[in-house]
Structure 1
Amino acid sequence: MDLLGLDEIRDLLGGISKQRATIIVGRKGFPDPVVTLKMGRVWDGKAVRAWIAENRPNPTED
């Protein structure tokens, strides 16, 4: 199972700030988290990687 938290998503997006990552994961069309725990939201890694490939092919550019 491939699960990601916000910090892992930040890494996939080129090490962007936590604030910027929070904005991106809140956008319409970003995959919904599979669960929200006390430590935060958790996403399906496969869905997040597919979204990044489609929407941000060069994640270091914004």
Structure 2
Amino acid sequence: MELLGLDEIRDLLGGISKQRATIIVGRKGFPDPFVTLKMGRVWDGKAVRAWIATNRPSPADED
């Protein structure tokens, strides 16, 4: 299982700001965290990658 924290999710979303990533992961429809630890939330990488593929077009797709 691939686990992702907010920084890894930021990287997958093209290096967006921490503030923007926090907004995105808090939206309805974004996968719930797999677990919340003292260091922060941790997500299932497979679920996050599937959400990104469905909801965040790649720059090449935006033309």
* Short-chain TM bin: over 0.9
Q: Distance in 1 between matches of 2:9 and 2:45?
A: 9
Query: Secondary structure of 1:41's partner?
Result: strand
- Map Cα deviations across residues 10-57 of structure 1 (whole Å, 9 max, x no partner): 000000000000000000000000100010000000000000000002
**Could you say which residue in structure 2 is the equivalent of 1:17?**
17
Alignment CA distance shift 1:11-1:18 (3 Å): same
Aligned residues: 62
Larger radius of gyration: 2
Query: Secondary structure of 1:43's partner?
Result: strand
TM-score (norm 1): 0.92
**Higher helix residue share:** 2
TM-score (norm 2): 0.91
Percent identity over the alignment?
A: 92
Structure 1 residue 3: Cα displacement: 0.3
Aligned-pair RMSD on alpha carbons? 2.3
Could you list the runs of 5+ residues in structure 1 that have no partner in the other structure? none
Structure 1 residue 59: Cα displacement: 6.3
